[in-house]
């Protein structure tokens, strides 16, 4: 079975987006800064190889409702070319897009992960959204975290981890590679 993982860029102070996230501004104010390393012409060789290694690895996605709401417009499609499971309280018919179908899951994140794994054909299940990441962490449903640590302090915005609460969650550092700007660390979540 594929790995359930979150693959996320954060500022050194832990923000994955700026403040005032909206449909018009899905990364929040100034939040694009944490994603700049993925774009641009003069891309670092290490960053490029990190991105290259991700290609074709995603078999399904699990997305929080809020991430779906603000992301759908900019994406104009599923975020990955794969079936995408939206965790929500509001039932909705399947929504076929160009590269995949949005499925709306109303019976909770565990069910969404189960369905995504079944749909992923052995590839990875990627998780998008801070809330859903925390829910899956707390429920012991997240296998890995791939964190891209960007050299900036945003000061405010959407924290990936907030105060998770509860017991410590131990991680195993699987790999660290650094480009000129970004430190890419992969963790396994120990259960």
Q: Name the residues that contact a copy of itself, by CB under 8 A.
A: 12-14, 30, 33, 137, 145, 147, 149, 151-156, 160-161, 163-173, 176, 178, 180-183, 185, 187
Of the two residues 94 and 173, which places its CB atom closer to a copy of itself in the complex?
Answer: 173
User: Residue 59: CB partners within 8 Å, gap ≥ 6?
Assistant: 2, 82, 119, 120, 121, 122, 123, 124, 125
Of the two residues 83 and 157, which places its CB atom closer to a copy of itself in the complex?
Answer: 157
Residue 56: burial class (beta carbons within 10 Å; 0-12, 13-18, 19+): exposed
Q: Could you tell me the smallest distance in angstroms from the CB atom of residue 153 to a copy of itself?
A: 4
Q: Could you tell me the smallest distance in angstroms from the CB atom of residue 71 to a copy of itself?
A: 23
User: Residue 188: CB partners within 8 Å, gap ≥ 6?
Assistant: 143, 144, 171, 172, 174
Which token pair is 59? Answer: 């078999």
Of the two residues 122 and 165, which places its CB atom closer to a copy of itself in the complex?
Answer: 165
Is the separation of the CB atoms in 9 and 130 below 8 Å? no
Of the two residues 118 and 153, which places its CB atom closer to a copy of itself in the complex?
Answer: 153
Of the two residues 36 and 107, which places its CB atom closer to a copy of itself in the complex?
Answer: 36
Helix ranges (H only) for 76-129 are 109-119
What 3-state class would DSSP assign to 114?
A: helix
Which token pair is 180? Answer: 């000129």
Q: Could you tell me the smallest distance in angstroms from the CB atom of residue 57 to a copy of itself?
A: 22
Of the two residues 56 and 155, which places its CB atom closer to a copy of itself in the complex?
Answer: 155
Q: Could you tell me the smallest distance in angstroms from the CB atom of residue 84 to a copy of itself?
A: 26
Q: Could you tell me the smallest distance in angstroms from the CB atom of residue 190 to a copy of itself?
A: 9
Q: Please tell me the distance from the alpha carbon of residue 53 to that of residue 59, in angstroms, as a whole number.
A: 14
Q: Could you tell me the smallest distance in angstroms from the CB atom of residue 63 to a copy of itself?
A: 22
């Amino acid at each position: 079975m594929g790995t359930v993982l979150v693959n996320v860029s954060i500022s050194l102070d832990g923000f994955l987006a700026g403040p005032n996230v909206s449909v018009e501004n899905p990364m929040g104010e100034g939040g694009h800064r944490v994603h700049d390393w993925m774009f641009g012409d003069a891309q670092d060789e290490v960053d490029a190889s990190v991105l290259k290694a991700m290609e074709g690895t995603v078999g399904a996605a699990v997305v929080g409702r809020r991430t779906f709401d603000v992301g759908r417009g900019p994406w104009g499609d599923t975020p990955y070319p794969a079936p995408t499971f939206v965790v929500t309280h509001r039932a909705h018919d399947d929504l076929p897009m160009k590269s995949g179908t949005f499925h709306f899951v109303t019976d909770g994140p565990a069910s969404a992960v189960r369905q995504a794994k079944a749909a992923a054909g052995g590839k990875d299940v990627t998780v998008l959204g801070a809330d859903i990441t925390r829910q899956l962490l707390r429920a012991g449903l997240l296998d890995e975290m791939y964190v891209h640590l960007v050299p900036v302090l945003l000061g405010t915005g959407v924290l990936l981890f907030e105060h998770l609460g509860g017991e410590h969650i131990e991680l195993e550092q699987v790999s660290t590679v650094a480009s000129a700007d970004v430190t890419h660390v992969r963790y396994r979540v120990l259960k």
